[in-house]
Every structure is written in structure tokens, then in C-alpha cells.
Structure 1
Amino acid sequence: MCTCTINKFIFCAFYLSMLFVIIYTNTFAKEMDAVTMKLSSRLAQSIVDNTMKQIPYNVNIMDENGYIIASGDKNRINTLHVGAVEAIKRRKTLPMTDEVGSYGQPGINMPLIFDGKVVGVIGITGKPQTVTPLASLLKMTAELLLEQAEQNKNEVKYENSLNSFLYQWSQVTDDINKNTGLLLEADNLKIDISKPRNVIAIQCPPEVIKQFRIDSADLSLPITANTVLIFTYLPSTIARCIELCKKKEFNIGIGDSTTSIGISVNQALRTLELSKIFINENYIYYKDIKFIDSILNSNIYSDKIISNFRQLEDSDTGKELIETIYQYIKNDGNVVKTSNVLHIHRNSLNHRLLRIHEIFNLDPRKTVDLFKLYLGYIYFTYYSYKS
């Protein structure tokens, strides 16, 4: 096989290997220096090792001062490469046709340029005319990696700034125009906070939160390992979230649409909480639980009624009476519907209602007394869950 054919074969194999190196070493993007954007010795050695699996030449990577930070010859690491020093000085590719003591061997040295600065040098030992194409590909790989790392750094910086802004914004319960700092930050992040938004609170496994996809116009903020807030003004996003949560049986709460986003955040989280406490999958919007929330915030409970509920909870018969109160209220005091739900005869239901009357001194058949029982049930259920 002629030398030309061999070189073509090596060139093709090396090119394919570089595609692998780009993908493989991208996982080491965090190894880039965040300030100077230069290759770390660990990342450089990873590139060298993977490259030398594909080509029969030694590869060196030097830092911005010409010192070898990665090499197929470990004895050369931390030594000065005179060819690299000259390539850095001239800012151009330099072939070395002769050996220069123990600090330089024949080969090619190509400076790595990033953001207009020389940040390192790629060197491959061998005949310059043979290894130059390989060095060019390796240089391209390293520079692409630097660009990707810079992009990743900017994305992380933006994400951190966005999360910080969203956290502060989520605390605002009054006029956002009073907070000049947040207005400026929103402008920098290109977020229009003058638009009324709904906040959606979703509880789901942590791995689902990471994979959760939202519209590009929406914003999301994880607040715990299993709770995420979504800020949206799109009805389609709300509909999609409700559909997903019903399908996956995730808990969801949706606050009112407002520019005082902190209010909607509190409403969404409160809806999430009360839907769990009262085990009602139909509690999705804050308006669904607003009445219960208002009752709980008014502190109009009766200690005696709550005490009676707690005594009933201590026995199976008592628990049946508590469930009877709940279903009787839920079914609007309709004896037939309540009996069917409880799977008991109407006479049995009437007997239970009589027992409830005797225990609470409140007649469930009377509207005012039934409302008092309802208030007691709400407070009893809420405080039982909290305790």
C-alpha cells in the first residue's frame, strides 16, 4: 500500500475519532477555567489519550506559556516545549524539522486561538508534512470544545440569574412597579413582567421535574426536590399541565392570573396543600378552595365541635359517622344519594344522622346546624393533617 493511501486512511480514521472526542470530552466542559477559558490538564489529557488510540503519533498539548500539560509521553509533562513557545510568540503554525535537545522533537505546533488570544498549543510529533492535517483537525476539536464550554458557561450564568430573579419575583405580593431593581433585572433577562400570569404548582418525582417541558414563553422555578412552579400567561400551558397531572396522578394547584406574581404563587401552593388535605382531585384552581381557605383563615371554629370529631376518630363506628357527615354535605343533604355513596340503606343513614344529632347537639337536617358541622369538619380535617 502506498504512503499516500496510508495517509488518507489515517486521516479518515482520525477525522472520525475527532467526532468521538468532541462528544466524549464535552462531558468534561466543567473542567474549563471559568475565567481564562483554557484547557485543564485533565481535559487535555483526555483529548490526548483518545486521540492516540487512533493515530501512531505522540500528541502534546501545551498551555499558554508553552509548558506541556498533557502528553502521550508522561515524562514530558510540565516541561517547556520550545516549539510551542515560538508558536505562541508568532501566533502561527510552526513546523519543527529537527530535534532540539530533549525539549523538542520534529513535528508540528499549532496555537489554539480563543477569543483572539492564544490559550495553548497543539503539537504532534512526526514528519510535519504527515502530521499537519491531523494537527489541524485536533486544533479544530480543541477550539470547538472551548467555544462549547464558553457557551455552557454563559447558559449556566443565565440560568442562575433567571432562577435568582424568579425567586425574588415570586415573593412580590404588591405592585411590581415599586421594585426598581426587579424591573431592571427583568429587562436584562428580557422578561415582560407587566403581563398577568398564572402560577402553576406541580408536585412530582424529581426526575420528572428535570424532564418537564414548557412553552418557550413560560418560566419555571423548582422550589423543592419534588415541587416546581410554572409562570405562564398561556391557556394552552395550563390545559397541558392539567392533562398531564391527571394522567400521571400528580398534584397540581393553579393561582389566579395577576401581575403581583407572589399572590398567585401563594394561591397555587395553598391549592396544592388543601387538595392533598381534603383528598379532592377536583381542587385544581385556587377558586376551587378559596371558600375553605377563607374559613380556615377566619378562625371561627368551635373547640367543642372539633373535640367531638376527635373523639369519634378513636373508633371505627365514629369514623363511619365522620364519613357520613362528609358525604351528606357533599351530596347536598340528599338522603338517597348519600345512602348510595355509603352503600347503606336509607334507614341506616337516618339512624346515623340521629346519632350525629345526639353527639354534636346539631341536627344535620337543619341548614344552620349542617353548616356548623361543615365548619367543624373543615377545621378538624385540617388540624388533624397538620398534627
Structure 2
Amino acid sequence: MLTPSLAQEIASETSEVCGFNVVITGRDGVIIGSGDLRRIGQFHEASVEVAHTQQPAAHDAAAARKLSGVRPGITLPLMLDDEAIGTVGITGSPAVVRRFGMLVKNQTEILLRESRTLQSRIIRENAVGDLVRDIAHYDPDVLEPEVLAGAAADLGFDLTVPRVAAVLEIGDPSRQAATLRVLRGIFRDAQDIMGATGPSRLVVLHRGSPDLCHTAAEQLPDTRIGVGPRATTVPQLCASYADAVTAARLGGRLGGRDRVHHIADFRLHELLAAAGPRTRARYHSETLGGLRDQPDWPALRATILAWCDSGFHLVNAARALHVHRNTLIYRLGKIERITGRNPREHRFAVALYVAALIDELDS
């Protein structure tokens, strides 16, 4: 806990503040921090007894001459959890520096406690990050789910609590630490688990309201968020993570201005993507025919999608497209003339819909 780098930082700062040289030793009496750098590594004999008895000691010039590496001043034990982990000494006339002794000791112990707290938090955050990555890349042939559940329990997490995986694609890896701080302020449930699975990808295994994903999107304007289904086991959490990655990827291409994308809205796209590019190309080429060669193909594709999404309802489809009903009728007629089949026939309309989704997916 009392590392040489930390001891030197404390000694330099306190020496500057109090105006006297401050030395810090370990339990073995070796100086590991000093305002006077020449004393680093020297043996400070008085510190050994002070650390052992946990009692301060003062040394005038005569007393100091009898001890190795000791100069006039006072030496006090550094206490952490009722244990002396080293000493702090102030060089000068004991009568003068005595009044600074407890102040320097208390300040040093405060800094040590803060350092330990920070170190503990970093260790925990690293352990939570490892847990997130183990869940995201879970392989039943390599690791039993009970092992992960036990590791999670050691960190205070119950993996049987229902959660959804939210994957954040942040783009710029340099934003990772700042984004994590924002997320910790939003996802505050004790059972929320968050960490990174890549330089620009963060994950929250979230048990609360999905609305918080929209809150995160509002506070992180350059971030897309994919959301998987609810899960209560390690394999389900792994699958939810994979689905959330897919939702973020497809949502980034097909989701328009929305930045929170649920996998439920992209299941058909996911299925089509699994068919392979050659199969998809053959299908939409045969189904769409000359439609893709039309200058207004993007408008025709949007018409096909809206026509099916609206349940083949003229008014609702026109409203979704923000066009007049007659414009929609004209477009449907054009589709029929070019394909030779009526898009009002539901079976053909569904075939067109799938082909339009493929074209949207691959374009």
C-alpha cells in the first residue's frame, strides 16, 4: 500500500506545504520518500523502533548523532487499520517541528486511505470488466456457467436477476473512460453490470427500465445503442449481448435517426443476413426484376416497406410515407406494371417486402 512512488509524492507535497523536510520510511526503516532526494534509500534507524512501538519519538542533535541516518526532528508512526505500515519524520528542532508532526501524520494517513480506496475501486472495476467480457464471450466448452455465477456473486451480482444487454458503440476509443463515467451515473442499480468488450464498445447488463437506454443516448449524442432480449442465465446473457451487437450494427445502417435499436425490430434482417450474399442477391434480383433499375427506386422501395408495415392499408401507408393517397396508388400501379404482378396480392407483397429488406440490408 505504501509504495515508493506514493511515498515520494506525499513527502514532496508535505515538505513544500510545511517548509521542513519530510521523510517517509517503510517498516524496515529505509527512506522511500523525501523532500531531499539525496536521502532516498538511506537507513533511518529511529523509524524501526517507532514502527515497532507505534509511538512517536523526538531526537535533538545529540540523540540524532547516536542513530544511523537520523537528523534532529521527530518521527511518527503511519497507521492504517491499527497497523504501523511505516513512519513519517520531519527534520528540524523538535521544539519547532513538533506542532507540525500530527498535522503531517494525519494528512499522510488520509492520503494513504484515499490511495487504498482508489486502488480497491480500480481492482473491482477491472474484475467487473473481466466478468462482462467472460459473459459476452461465454463458451460452454471452456467454462461452466456456475463458475461465472460464482465470480459474479463474489462481486455482489446475482446472474439470475432478469437483465437485458445494452451495447454502446462509441466510435472514438478515447471516449471510453468518460462514457463509462456517464453510464455509471445513469445505470445506478446495484445489479447493473458494465464494462468494455473492445476499445469502442461498452456493455451494460441492465436490470431496470429500458427507458434508461434512451437517457444514455440523449447524454451521449455520438453513440448508438443496441438492446438484446431479457435474460436470466449466463448462456442467455451471452446471446442477449450478441443480439445487442447485431441490433447496434443493423440499427446504424437501417435505423435512420434513431440511436437506440432493439433486436426485436431487426430479427428479419438478421435472418436474411444469415442467408449469405449470393442467396440474397439471387432472391431480390428475381423478385424485384426491373424495379431496381428505376430512377425512383428508393421511393418505390420505401413504398413496398410502408405498404406491408401498414398491413396493406392505403391511408396508413400514405401517412407513413408522408405522401397523398393518390401518389401511393400511382406507385403501386407502377410496381405492378414493371413486375407484372399485383402488389395488393398479399403473398407477392410479402415477397416484395423481403426483397426490399434485402436490398436495404445490402445497399
Please state which band the TM-score falls in when normalised by the shorter chain: 0.7 to 0.9
Q: Give the corresponding residue for 1:245.
A: 217
- Asked whether the equivalents of residues 214 and 260 of structure 2 are also in contact (C-alpha less than 8 Å), the reply is no
**Counterpart in the other structure of 2:72:** 106
- Please show how residues 252-331 of structure 1 align to structure 2 within 5 Å: 252-258=225-231, 259=233, 260-279=236-255, 281=258, 284-297=261-274, 301=280, 303=282, 305-306=284-285, 316-331=295-310
Distance 2:202 2:133 in 1: 12
**Greater mean alpha carbon deviation, residues 371-380 or residues 158-167:** 158-167
Q: Are 2:134 and 1:158 equivalent residues in the alignment?
A: no
Contact 1:165–1:186 (8 Å) recurs in 2: yes
2:157·2:191 contact (CA, 8 Å) conserved in 1? no
Give distance in 2, aligned partners of 1:371 and 1:87: 85
Alignment-derived partner of residue 332 in structure 2: 353
Identify the residue that residue 379 of structure 1 maps to in structure 2.
358
Give the residue type in structure 1 aligned to 2:11.
V
- Kept in 1: contact 2:78–2:86 (CA 8 A): yes
For residue 227 of structure 1, the aligned residue among 201, 204, 210 is 201
Q: How does 1:357-368 map to 2 (within 5 A)?
A: 357-368=336-347
Whether contact under 8 Å (1:309, 1:322) holds in the other structure is no
- 1:189 counterpart = 2:155: yes
Q: 1:331 to 1:90 in 2, by over 3 A?
A: closer
1:173/1:263 contact within 8 Å kept: no
- Matched residue, 1:78: 41
Provide the C-alpha distance between the structure 2 equivalents of 1:146 and 1:117, rounded to a whole number of angstroms.
13
Flag the 1:201–1:304 CA change in 2: closer, same or farther, 3 A.
Answer: closer
**Shift, 1:167, TM fit:** 2.1
Unaligned runs of 5+ in 1: 1-36
Query: Counterpart in 2 of 1:198?
Result: 164
C-alpha offsets along residues 209-236 of structure 1, whole Å, 9 cap, x if unaligned? Answer: 33212122321222234433222333xx
> What secondary structure, in the 3-state scheme, does the structure 2 residue paired with 1:256 have?
strand
Unpaired runs of 5+ in structure 2? none
Residues 305, 360 of structure 1: 8 Å contact kept: no
Residues 282 and 334 (structure 1), Cα distance of their counterparts in 2 relative to 1, 3 Å cut: farther
Matched to 2:108, the amino acid is A
After TM superposition, give the deviation of residue 200 of structure 1 in Å: 2.4
Structure 1 window deviating more from structure 2 (82-91 vs 309-318): it is 309-318
Q: Secondary structure at the match of 2:230?
A: coil
Q: Deviations over 1:325-365 (max 9, x none)?
A: 33433444444555566566666554543443354444323
Contact map agreement 1:97 1:107 (CA 8 A) in 2: yes
Residues 314 and 49 from structure 1, CA distance in 2 versus in 1: closer, same or farther, beyond 3 angstroms?
farther
Contact 1:44/1:69, CA 8 A, preserved across alignment:
yes
Letter in 2 for 1:217: Q
Moved more, 157-166 or 276-285: 276-285
Cα distance change of structure 1 residues 166 and 354 upon mapping to structure 2, 3 Å threshold: same
Aligned to 2:30: 67
Superposition deviation, residue 297 in structure 1: 4.0
- Using the aligned pairs only, state the percent identity: 23
Say what the alpha-carbon RMSD is for the aligned residues. Answer: 3.6
Please report the TM-score for the alignment, with normalisation by the length of structure 2: 0.77
Tell me the residue number matched to 2:3: 39
- The size of the alignment, in residue pairs, is 344
**Alpha-carbon distance in structure 1 between the residues aligned to 2:80 and 2:13:** 22
SS of 1:54 mapped into structure 2:
helix
CA spacing shift, 1:195–1:60, aligned 2, 3 Å: closer
User: TM-score of the superposition, structure 1-length normalised?
Assistant: 0.73
- Structure 1 residue 238 displacement after superposition: 1.8
CA distance in 2, matches of 1:367, 1:65: 86
Offset at 1:138? 1.4
**Separation in 2, partners of 1:361, 1:283:** 39
Q: Equivalent residue for 1:125?
A: 91
- 1:182 and 1:173 mapped to 2: Cα distance? 11
1:271 and 1:289 in contact (8 A); partners too:
yes
Q: Measure how far apart 1:311 and its partner are.
A: 7.7
Residues 67 and 311 (structure 1 numbering): CA distance in 2 closer, same or farther, change over 3 Å?
farther
Q: Secondary structure at the match of 1:191?
A: coil
Q: Residues 283 and 63 from structure 1, CA distance in 2 versus in 1: closer, same or farther, beyond 3 angstroms?
A: closer
Partner amino acid for 2:166?
I
Alpha-carbon distance change, 291 to 152 in structure 1, aligned in 2, over 3 angstroms: same
Q: What's the CA shift for 1:376?
A: 0.8
After superposition, residues 128-143 of structure 1 pair within 5 angstroms as 128-143=94-109
